[in-house]
Amino acid sequence: MDVREQYLAEPYQTAAQQREATFLGMWVFLATEIMMFGGLFLVIYYYRLQHPVAVGEAVHHLHSILAAFNSALLLTGSLCMSLMVQASRLGDYRRVQRLLLLTAFFGLAFLAVKGFEYGWEYREGLLPGMGPESPLKEPAARLFMNIYLFATGLHAVHVTLGVTIILGMVVRIHFAHMQLPERAITLEMVGLYWHLIDVIWIVLYPSLYLVGRAA
């Protein structure tokens, strides 16, 4: 019998039943997250269609190079997460911890770069509430910056939550509160959540920084 099937939580009768229910619950949760961000994407593209010139003005001031670097950070973190899931199935504790820490590092680096970008935008007068100091003259362009701040801020909250969960997993493994590979499915769920965060950013990046940008 596969060692992963030795752990059973109540009220499940078989490991297959437990695994199926776990994945179903996680996919339902991820679907709610996708619907939330999906509505946000609809708002972004509807607003772009209604105010293409104003949005183009706002997008021109955004720092797409920093956003591209952040995309590379998240993609690298997702690679580490995928390798971690494989290691967890083999029960390789040391490799799992290293890869979790690497993923957390790339997540924290993403947040640091985003914080630097916010500071840069604030000094340039791009963020909401800057008044006449803003280089954006069109009211519609300023409203787009509100949407930008809300969308990227909401994503940053998800990255912060993901990093917190990852570090929690590292602590649990370090103090032997999680047995591998019996509990590898728990880490698989963490991996799915992190990949969702990555996918959301991969859609946000062109939606906010690239589409409508002047050549």
Model confidence pLDDT, tens digit, residues 13-25: 566 666 787 778 8
- The label of the residue with tokens 């997008």 reads 59
Structure tokens at 69: 């670097």
pLDDT class of 4 with cuts at 50, 70, 90: very low
Q: Is residue 5 predicted with pLDDT exceeding 80? A: no
Q: By percentage, how much of the chain surpasses pLDDT 70? A: 88
Q: Are the C-beta atoms of 8 and 18 separated by less than 8 Å?
A: yes
Model confidence pLDDT, tens digit, residues 15-61: 666 678 777 888 999 999 999 999 999 999 999 999 999 999 999 99
Q: Are the C-beta atoms of 72 and 91 separated by less than 8 Å?
A: no
Round to whole Å and give the CA distance between 168 and 189: 14
Is residue 106 classed exposed, middle or buried when 0-12, 13-18 and 19+ CB atoms within 10 A define those classes?
buried
Q: Is residue 207 predicted with pLDDT exceeding 50? A: yes
